[in-house]
Structure 1
Amino acid sequence: MTVEQAALADANRARLSVVVLTYTRADQVLDTLARLAALPDRIDIVAVDNASTDGTADRIARNFPFVKLVVAPRNLGAAGRNLGVAHVKTEYVAFCDDDTWWSPGALTRAVEVLDAAPRVAVLNACVVVGEHGAADETCERMRDSPLPRDGLPGPALIGFMAGACVFRTEVFRQAGGYEPRLFIGGEETLVSLDVLGAGHEIVYMDELVLHHHPSPLRDSAQRRRLLARNAAWVAWMRLPLAEALRATYDAFRLMRAEPWPRSDVMALLKGVAWAVGRRRVIDERVRQMRELVHEDDARREAQTVDRGPVGSTRAT
């Protein structure tokens, strides 16, 4: 290969990969992969099948032979994304689920932003929901983050959305990816705390658009249990004692309000002991960031009470 050919090959090489996670939603993931493949952005695509039971892997292989297909040995939940990242060879990695897809040009723009902002490790996209494309409520809160921008390309955050973000690949790996024991439900929190604790920044970018057409195949009660359980475990791993106790109390309160299966109760209790063994409390910088966000949340909630009920979701 000549120097000119090598330079051309390097110029045409993708700098960003998209990892798509799916589980037993073959029709939806095929639609998502078709949309990603049609993007003008120069990207590699990795599809992770979380041990689906509906022939998803076979259909992906047959319809998209150019997509790197990774089949998990079992359903790993959010940690299935770790398998995808293990096959990524690019500097940056974007994530989406089988019911989300990136807008044309968004991923090219993400590369430009990350190239120009070495302090930033994670970009969170603007998620637009459904046919009408209304901005996700969480993203609206991210847009109004109370944290100082300090020269960042967008509002600073203390968290991100797992299926709507772009990472520096090496930072994701250094953070250890998603903890398999959390499975799914608030799994981003632990990664976020560790990314911030390593001195990196997480930023919201309104111009990076991700479309989300939510699947109806969801178990809301199970998700609430997993969110409460994982919040308690993460708190014991990383947060001050008062927050760990409060998160555990909240989980027990939900347990009483929505009687949990005995297996979930036992998992919560055993997991607390496991989490304590992995305890490494966040530093003062991250603690102050969280306090600013929580104070802003409290102010917003008080205003909501004064005005009357309006939906709200913590975003940052």
Structure 2
Amino acid sequence: MVASRNRRDDLLASLPRHEAPVVLVDNASTDDTVAAVRAAHPEVTVVPLDRNAGAVARTLGVARAGTPFVAFTDDDSWWAPGDLARGVEIMRAHPRLGLLAARILVGAAEELDPVCTEMAGSPLGTEPDLPGPSLLGFVACAALVRTEAFTAVGGFDPVVRFPGEEERLALDLAAAGWGLAYVDEVTVHHHPSPHREPSTARQAGIWRSRVLTALMRYPLRDVAGQLVRVVRAGRPGWRGLAGALPRVPAALRSRRVLPEHVMAGVRELAA
């Protein structure tokens, strides 16, 4: 399942690499993405949206797929040959596993994404019924989800959007009793698009998402701690906080405090 906006050329290059049927949800692109993909790849199910729905596009894509498992990729990433099937086998063998986070190799040099090193060394350890280290976060372009689990917690939401949308979903999966694990024997290739937003804007967007997620799920003392971290982050943090302000009412309407055992994991990771 791919969500995309205004990255026609990236899509036309990456779509042939997918080994499973693809659902593409287009977030109101203005670069003729929909027509180009339909012409070049008629086998792809294209769902065009009339507005940019952000990460909710993935939720719509999962519903359209209608399969027990759905793999997420971006328009500039794809699963290594044979590894999507391998990931599904792992999911079937571990019935509590709600989300599998794959290893990410970046660019033509296939360098390991630093986030994978962090996930492999997760201080949460490896639970006996999971195939790898436990997580409370993941990278959406390299995740395989169990549709039952994803749907039960509401999928991605319209409050957090992009980027940094993964945390709230990960926390809700854990709160519902589902496991999330990093599995480095399954690989996703990521060749970052040249059309990405500037890193400073992306950092601000991630801080915005952290603030909104905290408001939606953290106890008040942990919300305060997150706000302190935002302030200490300097300009990206301040920009993120400013970006979060218009969405605060919606975040508070969706507020549901996490169980203590999940928050204990959040605090351990933050430390």
Aligned to 2:48: 71
Greater shift in the superposed pair: 180-189 or 109-118: 180-189
The answer on whether the counterparts of 2:231 and 2:237 sit within 8 Å (CA) in structure 1 is no
Quick one: which of 182, 201, 212 aligns to 2:190?
212
Give the length in aligned residue pairs. 269
CA 1:180–1:276: 2 relative to 1, 3 Å:
closer
Deviations 1:239-262 (A, max 9, x none): 12122123234445557578749x
Say whether 1:162 aligns with 2:132.
no
CA 1:259–1:172: 2 relative to 1, 3 Å:
closer
Greater shift in the superposed pair: 45-54 or 195-204: 45-54
Unaligned runs of 5+ residues in structure 1 are: 1-18, 296-316
Q: Could you tell me how far apart the structure 2 residues matched to 1:201 and 1:150 are?
A: 9
Deviations 1:156-210 (A, max 9, x none): 1111111110000121111111111222021011101100000010000101100
Largest Rg, 1 or 2: 1
CA 1:254–1:204: 2 relative to 1, 3 Å:
closer
Q: Could you tell me how far apart the structure 2 residues matched to 1:195 and 1:46 are?
A: 23
CA 1:170–1:292: 2 relative to 1, 3 Å:
same
Q: Could you tell me how far apart the structure 1 residues matched to 2:106 and 2:218 are?
A: 32
Aligned to 1:278: 254
CA RMSD of aligned residues (A): 2.0
Q: Which amino acid counterpart does residue 294 of structure 1 have in structure 2?
A: A
Q: What SS is found at the alignment partner of 2:188? A: strand
Quick one: which of 289, 292, 307 aligns to 2:265?
289
Greater shift in the superposed pair: 92-101 or 267-276: 267-276
The answer on whether the counterparts of 2:230 and 2:238 sit within 8 Å (CA) in structure 1 is no
The answer on whether the counterparts of 2:76 and 2:192 sit within 8 Å (CA) in structure 1 is yes
Q: Which amino acid counterpart does residue 14 of structure 2 have in structure 1?
A: T
Q: What is the 5 A alignment of 1:96-111? A: 96-111=73-88
Unaligned runs of 5+ residues in structure 2 are: none
Q: Which amino acid counterpart does residue 15 of structure 2 have in structure 1?
A: L
Q: What is the 5 A alignment of 1:77-88? A: 77-88=54-65
Deviation, 1:120, is: 0.6
The answer on whether the counterparts of 2:55 and 2:165 sit within 8 Å (CA) in structure 1 is yes
The answer on whether the counterparts of 1:228 and 1:247 sit within 8 Å (CA) in structure 2 is no
Deviation, 1:280, is: 1.3
Aligned to 1:269: 245
Q: What SS is found at the alignment partner of 1:163? A: helix
Q: Could you tell me how far apart the structure 1 residues matched to 2:245 and 2:89 are?
A: 45
Query: Percentage identity across aligned positions?
Result: 39
Q: Structure 1 runs of 4+ off > 4 angstroms?
A: 252-261
CA 1:205–1:260: 2 relative to 1, 3 Å:
closer
TM-score when scaled to structure 2?
0.92
Q: Could you tell me how far apart the structure 1 residues matched to 2:236 and 2:166 are?
A: 26
